[in-house]
Amino acid sequence: MLVSTRGRYALRFLVDLARNRESGYITVHELAERQEVSKKYAERLMAVLSRGKFVETRHGAGGGYRLGVEPEECRVSDVLAAMSEELVPVECMKCSPNTCPRAQVCPTLPMWKKLGGMIHDFFDGITLADLMK
């Protein structure tokens, strides 16, 4: 399992917006600058976060982005899923149901399934509020 740049940056953007909630809407330029990410890349990620309702968007003067969820209710697992992160430890677990021809006889598959559950539970147990601390 490897969390991509998209997933990591999305979480950083959301934590930034959560920490700066009192500032109202924040431009993508400010956000990108603070997080040291290109504006173009930030725009693409913010569009995905907006579609997922993690952020609210306002166009025009005074516009930008603000957090669209309560930090205590926004789980890291949900953000990573929105960013199309595959939180599986081995390739054969990407498909559901598992289409590996050896799945029925694989002696290691139960171990990988257990690890996959642990990974999901780990990210499911962390919220933006936790990351803000």
Q: Tell me what the mean pLDDT of segment 7-11 comes to.
A: 97
User: How many domains in the chain?
Assistant: 1
Write out pLDDT tens, residues 25-68.
999 999 999 999 999 999 999 999 999 999 999 998 889 999 99
Find tokens 């677990």 and name the residue. Answer: 93
Domain region containing 111: 5-132
Q: What is the pLDDT of residue 52?
A: 96
Instruction: For residues 120 and 21, give the distance between their C-alpha atoms in angstroms, rounded to a whole number.
Output: 28
Classify each residue of 33-47 as buried b or exposed e, where b means 16 or more C-beta atoms within 10 Å of its C-beta. eeeebeeeebeebbe
Q: How many CB atoms lie within 10 A of CB 18?
A: 20
Spatial separation of the C-alpha atoms in residues 112 and 92, rounded to whole Å: 10
Q: Is 50 helix (H, G, I), strand (E, B) or coil?
A: helix
CATH number at residue 45: 1.10.10.10
